[in-house]
Chains A and B, each alone.
Chain A
């Protein structure tokens, strides 16, 4: 990474995460994520009592954070002509986009990842439960896959944050307006959430939801890992089709919107 990029990223972090944005995001995510209740830490219970509620309660926060941070970073900087000032420096448009996007993306993943880490510590996911089963007069221990479930949750979290960041960047650059881009973004995210909420669990389109989709990814990968480790069968109700719908939507959508956003900024007339 060049010195200029590092400088731009540091400037971007100071701008986008200025008081009270970081404080608000931290406070709400701690309150939302750490109030889970778990007393029987079986693997299936971790999915229903820790993973599923995490996605439901954090969706609002992912959406609002992406809307405010990326909306200010791209929409507001075009609207208030800060982008024109930035382009006056000897740095390419690609450099500006990448430094702005990745500085905010890493900051979001860091904040939410830290909260997820705290949740994992509180739920003892890093000290897996040991269950004992009798066999031929002796007792044999079986470790749970709790650390792997946490790993899948972190992967899904990174994916959701990447998707919301790309979507908001695209809308901010397409509309060139902070307020309008936030409005379109929130209507899209919560409209989709409402619509997918009316669909049954067996319909692939239901997994376009930003809360149900990541939960399905974690459940499917956990069940597959459980099987692979020879621990038996874990019924989650998530088939390969439902899992791939959620994964492809988030991954392909995020990459496509990221590329389109980059092209938009490169070809945009800012004068």
Chain B
């Protein structure tokens, strides 16, 4: 396979991934999720806008919402010792939290109070918008493809113009 063909294939892959990025920008949600201890997931989250709605909290109390990568989560450990991707405190029933996860991955959503994991809670989690990581990968491939095709095209043109 010559360099021109490799460039065209890279360009096509980049363009197709851009279409995929656009199609994957549709909102997706978990529906209503209930837990008797305040631990939800793991969810497969993309680095795009994430919305968590606290639908019910029983007993009513101030809660801390933590989003923790699956790799760092162990419920046998104290939650304060865990590395969180996102955390916010003083939440009550009906609160809405909007945030971005740092990278694509499997995440637990943990609701805790002063004494540890919360009691009976239910949430709804949604994601919407473009995933920037996918957009970057597709743009990089597209750019590499365009550059390769252009360079090869110029080289071919120069070869054809050269006098015999």
Contact = CB atoms under 8 A, between A and B. Distances in A.
Same complex origin of A and B: yes
Interface of A: 19, 22-23, 26-27, 30-31, 34-35, 37-41, 122-124, 127, 129-132, 138-139, 141
A127 B106 contact: yes
Nearest to B23: A35
Contacts of A39: 28-30, 43-45, 125, 127
B42 A129 contact: yes
10 contacts: A30-B13, A30-B16, A30-B17, A31-B16, A37-B26, A41-B44, A127-B105, A131-B42, A139-B75, A139-B76
Interface string B16-59: 11011001101011100000000101111100000000000000
A1 to B, nearest CB: 20
Contacts of A40: 30, 41, 43-44
A131 B40 CA distance: 10
Contacts, number: 72
B85 interface: no
Contacts of A37: 24, 26, 28
Contacts of A30: 13, 16-17, 20
B12 interface: yes
Interface residues of B, number: 32
A231 to B, nearest CB: 16
Interface string B102-123: 0011100000000000000000
Given A37-B28, A40-B44, A31 B106 contact: no
The 10 closest A-B pairs by CB, nearest first: A30-B16, A139-B75, A27-B16, A23-B12, A35-B23, A34-B20, A41-B44, A37-B28, A139-B76, A27-B12
A31 B28 contact: no
Name the residue in B12, B20, B44, B105 with the highest tally of chain A Cβ atoms < 10 Å from its Cβ: B44
A30 B24 CA distance: 12
A129 B70 contact: yes
A124 B30 CA distance: 17
Given A26-B16, A31-B23, A39-B43, A132 B75 contact: yes
A80 B94 CA distance: 72
A19 B11 CA distance: 13
A123 B44 contact: yes
B74 interface: yes
Contact of B76 (A35, A131, A138): A138
A19 B26 CA distance: 33
A100 B23 CA distance: 37
B44 A23 contact: no
Contact of A31 (B8, B19, B125): B19
Nearest to A18: B5
Nearest to B8: A23
